[in-house]
Structure 1
Amino acid sequence: MTSNPGSGFVVHPDALTGAGQNAQTVGGRIPEEAKGVGPASDAGVAGLAGFASAQALQECTAAWQGVLNALAGELGGQGQNLVTTAQNYRSADASAAAALPAPAGGGDPFAVPRPAAAGGGDPFAIPRPAAPPPVRDPFAVAGPAGGR
């Protein structure tokens, strides 16, 4: 994914590639599908023989087939442009990543460094206080060792 932080602009190269391939597929199918317009129009022209509308129908059919063929070419070209754009984003991301210096020690460049702890323990462990001294009960009666 390519983005420009703060701009709200994000590019998903896989989505661009998919959209481009879909456009190319549809563009590739149009010429074959457009061939079905001719026979239907020819039947209409034959049924209108002798009328001025027969000529108009022929001209309309030819124009429509021209538009469909142009659309097929446009979809194919724009689809290729989307695929190429996705490849360009991937290449730019790879080039930018390759230009970054390698992390020291070859580790994960996004790892959070952990400080070394004295004595080799966990530096983030919560220290436990030492055991408190025993509390003397002020009301305790002294025993024979007390000397009374």
Structure 2
Amino acid sequence: MATPINGGTQGLWIDPHQVGKAAAAADKVAEDIPGDIKGLFKTTDAAVAGLAGFESAPALDECLEAWTKALRALAGLVGGAADAVRDSNNSFADEDRQRRNAFLGPYAPGAGPPDMYYTPYTPDLTTPPSANGGR
């Protein structure tokens, strides 16, 4: 997601497409967890039925309930993390767009900058040290 910038510039470049993929992957995990939880019920119910009359049968049910609650909470946390990553990515893109537009202006009355995503990162371009003060 973050790539060192080559050439004279120091720092990291955040690739919005990779960040978007990470958010989508987290969304998928959060969406898959409830289905995975359902898979626990069949085997646990079979074990409880096989242990009818034993004290371990209700303990298995309680354990399943605790795991279900924990996994649902985990799904919520992962979904929230996906939203936070996506929001951060959108903020970075908006900031880049605003900075780009600041360099493009001023515009004629009634005209404005094009509303498109601009990515200044070109992996094949090396910035000469003289372009940023020799650093």
CA distance in 2: counterparts of 1:2 and 1:97, whole angstroms? 20
> Matches of residues 53-72 of structure 1 in structure 2 within 5 Å?
53-72=56-75
Q: Check if 1:12 corresponds to 2:15.
A: yes
Q: Percent identity?
A: 36
Structure 1 residues 91 and 100 mapped into 2: Cα distance closer, same or farther (>3 Å)?
same
Q: Are 1:34 and 2:31 matched, yes or no?
A: no
Question: 5+ residue gaps in structure 2?
Answer: 107-135
- 1:1-148 equivalences under 5 Å are 5-6=9-10, 8-102=11-105
Alpha-carbon separation, structure 1, partners of 2:12 and 2:3: 8
TM-score (structure 1 length as normaliser): 0.61
Give the number of the structure with larger relative contact order, counting CA–CA contacts within 8 Å between residues 6 or more apart. Answer: 2
Provide TM-score, normalisation by structure 2: 0.67
Shift of 1:9: 3.1
Unaligned runs of at least 5 residues, structure 1: 104-148
Rounded to whole Å, the distance in 1 between the matches of 2:50 and 2:104 is 76
1:106-131 Cα shifts (integer Å, max 9, x gaps): xxxxxxxxxxxxxxxxxxxxxxxxxx
Measure the CA separation in 1 of the matches of 2:40 and 2:104. 60
- Provide the secondary structure at the position in 2 that maps to 1:46: helix
Mark the structure with the bigger radius of gyration.
Answer: 1
C-alpha distance in structure 2 between counterparts of 1:98 and 1:26, whole Å: 37
CA distance in 2, matches of 1:3, 1:84: 22
Q: How large is the Cα RMSD of the aligned pairs?
A: 2.4
Runs of at least 4 residues off by over 4 Å: 1-5
State the distance in 1 between where 2:47 and 2:93 align: 52
Structure number with higher helix proportion: 2
Structure-1 separation of matches of 2:98 and 2:4: 15
